[in-house]
Amino acid sequence: MTARLGLFITLEGGEGAGKSTAAQGLKAMLEAEGLPVLLTREPGGTAGAEAIRALLLGEVPLTPLAQTMLHFAARADHVERVIRPALDEGRVVICDRFYDSTMAYQASGLGVPVESITALIHLIGLHPDITFLLDLPEEISRARVASRAAATDRYEAMDSGFFTRVTHGFRGIAAAEPGRFVQIDAAAAPEQVVEQMRAAIRARAGR
Ligand code: TMP
């Protein structure tokens, strides 16, 4: 793989973990330090990927493998048009979800074989430098989701067994790659969540 200038940071976690707030806080913190930052999300981040997002989060029936391939179709467009060019320019890219979400939701949650997803990850060929897993005790996650309005998309409408598998899936992926993952206590106040991420980035930069 070719060397790149920028830093690729991804945020992962189950429903209600506060990823979007954390991503915005991290962006503001890095910009305050003078770094050029691009904040983006998956599924989405380009016109094509946002169109695929609407399909993925909508109600059209799709098998788990079809969902997986659509998540990767969106990702391929997003990586080639937005993420790689930004990294090549030396920017810090913060992406709210990336391929670990497919492993957690489609493999652990829906039973798609891990090898199928590994093959698609290989095709994408871009790996995060740091992945923050915003981890919440299951009861807090469940309470946060329950306090929201009715489920608004395909995944929010899943049963609690699905969310338990997703949570355990994320923890297993993080444990298998301790060099890339940093687990963040997502039950902490938003500013403390950003502080945990700042400390981890500093620690890595100092290595
Ligand atoms: P969001 O709520 O964080 O915007 O993400 C949209 C939903 O899509 C969320 O329920 C997680 C799900 N998702 C997958 O199932 N697989 C994936 O690869 C990605 C990126 C998201």
Token digits for 169? 């899936």
Residues 6+ apart with CB under 8 A from 62: 55, 56, 70
**Helix, strand, coil proportions of the chain in percent (round to 5)?**
55, 15, 30
Ligand 1, atom 15: nearest CA belongs to which residue?
Answer: 105
Residue 207: its pLDDT value, please?
57
**CA pair distance 62, 49, nearest whole angstrom:** 17
CB-based contact 11:96 (threshold 8 Å): yes
Phi–psi pair at 145, nearest 5 degrees? -70, -40
Which protein residues touch ligand 1 with a CB less than 6 Å away? 42-43, 71, 97, 101-102, 105-106, 155
Mean pLDDT estimate for the chain? 94
The pick from 50, 53, 75, 105 for probing ligand 1's pocket by mutation, whose C-beta has the most ligand atoms within 8 angstroms, reads 105
pLDDT at 146 over 90: no
Which range has the worst mean pLDDT, 50-64, 167-181, 192-206?
192-206
